[in-house]
């Protein structure tokens, strides 16, 4: 009976040590997916604790190998074994959770991002505009929207092809994203039209922002020259309509509609300019 007990105890210890070694793999994969920072450091600390636990296993096995005399000696090896099972379970579960969260984040990003330009899409714009309108009314804050359209974009597509046109759109989206504040929302409204939703921003400040963006686009090269393709550098201009939140704006659609009317006014007045909705309303 004693020999059987000894073999059982030693078997439990060896199996637990194997489980601890196996638990390194999911934790190693998990740490590899984490960015540098406090969270990654904590998981590295857990790896160090597992190593310490394995050393305890080794020391215990070395000191008491073949030294067990009754079934009561199963308690300590059993505790070691259950600890190894727990660590393996936690490491595997954490890795699976991290993978699924990463997949969910990727799906969420795809649902709110325009794949061509790399900025937010119309669905995200509609949702955020409705949210910002509610927040602005609740806390009596200002809110403005800019709607940009590339002037004569059809000529770019006709002369250089849609691939170059897509590169122009990507360059414009990146430029706008760099120029606006972190709190501003840049989204593709449709076609070559891009919206900028500016919370805590009055119409006068939005006009200044729109003018700054217009000048920045005008002096920038969207697609560099290519000697091999015998193509000159491509620059563009944009027309921008500006609208602000007031009591007559009932929902996100009416705010976008006002910005769209202002944009139409900018085109009618010769393009490459900024026009606000109030000036269009007064002239009509």
**pLDDT tens-digit readout, 180-220:** 999 999 999 988 999 999 999 999 999 999 999 999 999 99
The percentage of residues in the chain with a pLDDT greater than 90, rounded to a whole number, is 51
Neighbours of 220 (CB within 10 A): 13
Say how far residue 14 (Cα) sits from the centre of its chain.
45
Structure tokens at 180: 């606006």
Give 171-182 pLDDT, tens digit per residue: 999 999 999 999
Place of tokens 């500016």: 198
pLDDT at residue 70, rounded to an integer: 55
Average pLDDT of the chain? 85
130 is catalytic: no
Nearest CA to 75 among 88, 60, 89? 60
pLDDT 10s digits, 228-276: 878 899 999 999 999 999 989 989 999 999 999 999 999 999 999 999 9
Backbone φ, ψ for residue 282 (5° rounding):
-70, -35
Beta bridge partners of 234: 223
**b/e code 252-273 from CB counts within 10 Å (16+ = b):** beebbebbbbbbbbbeeeeebb
Q: Which helix (H) or strand (E) holds 284?
A: none
How much is the pLDDT for 69? 53
Q: At what angle do helices 122-138 and 75-112 cross, to 10 degrees?
A: 90
Strands 274-276 and 238-244: parallel
Q: Which of 39, 19, 151 is nearest to 85 (CA)?
A: 19
pLDDT digits (tens, 9 = 90+) for 33-72: 777 778 778 888 877 877 787 777 777 766 766 665 555 5
Please tell me the distance from the alpha carbon of residue 238 to that of residue 147, in angstroms, as a whole number.
Answer: 10
How much is the pTM?
Answer: 0.69
Q: Using an 8 Å Cβ cutoff, are 165 and 173 in contact?
A: no
Q: Which of 110, 179, 192, 208 is catalytic?
A: 192
Task: For 239, list phi and psi in degrees, rounded to 5.
Answer: -105, 140
Question: Greater confidence, 139 or 110?
Answer: 139
Residue 63 phi, psi (nearest 5) = -75, -35
* Residues 218, 212: Cα–Cα separation, whole Å: 10
Residue 20 neighbours by CB under 8 Å, 6+ apart: 50, 53, 54, 57, 84, 87, 88
CA 270 from chain centre, in angstroms, equals 38
Alpha helices, H only, the chain: 2-33, 38-64, 75-112, 122-138, 153-160, 162-179, 203-218, 252-268, 277-283
pLDDT tens column, 148-160: 999 999 999 999 9
pLDDT band at 106 (very low <50, low <70, confident <90, very high): low
Cα distances (angstroms) measured from residue 253 to each of 111, 145, 223: 20, 12, 33
């Amino acid at each position: 009976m004693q020999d059987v007990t000894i073999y059982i105890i030693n078997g439990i210890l060896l199996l637990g040590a194997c489980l601890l070694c196996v638990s390194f793999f999911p934790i190693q994969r998990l740490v590899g997916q984490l960015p540098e920072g406090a969270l990654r450091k904590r998981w590295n600390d857990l790896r160090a604790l597992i190593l310490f636990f394995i050393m305890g296993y080794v020391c215990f096995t070395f000191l008491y190998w073949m030294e067990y005399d009754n079934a009561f000696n199963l308690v300590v090896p059993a505790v070691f074994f259950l600890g190894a099972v727990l660590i393996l379970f936690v490491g595997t579960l954490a890795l699976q959770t991290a993978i699924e969260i990463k997949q969910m984040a990727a799906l969420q990003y795809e649902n709110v991002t325009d794949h061509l330009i790399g900025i937010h899409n119309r669905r995200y714009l509609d949702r955020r505009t409705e949210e910002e309108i509610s927040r602005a009314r609740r806390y009596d804050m200002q809110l403005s929207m800019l709607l940009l359209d590339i002037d004569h974009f059809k000529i770019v597509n006709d002369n250089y092809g849609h691939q170059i046109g897509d590169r122009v759109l990507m360059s414009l989206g990146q430029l706008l994203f760099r120029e606006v504040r972190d709190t501003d929302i840049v989204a593709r409204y449709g076609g070559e039209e891009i919206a900028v939703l500016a919370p805590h921003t009055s119409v006068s400040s939005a006009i200044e922002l729109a003018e700054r963006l217009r000048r920045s686009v005008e002096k920038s090269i969207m697609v560099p020259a290519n000697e091999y393709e015998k193509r000159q550098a491509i620059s563009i201009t944009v027309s921008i309509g500006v609208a602000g939140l007031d009591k007559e704006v009932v929902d996100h659609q009416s705010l976008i509609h006002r910005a769209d009317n202002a944009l139409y006014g900018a085109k009618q007045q010769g393009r490459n300019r900024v026009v606000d909705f109030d000036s269009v309303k007064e002239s009509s």
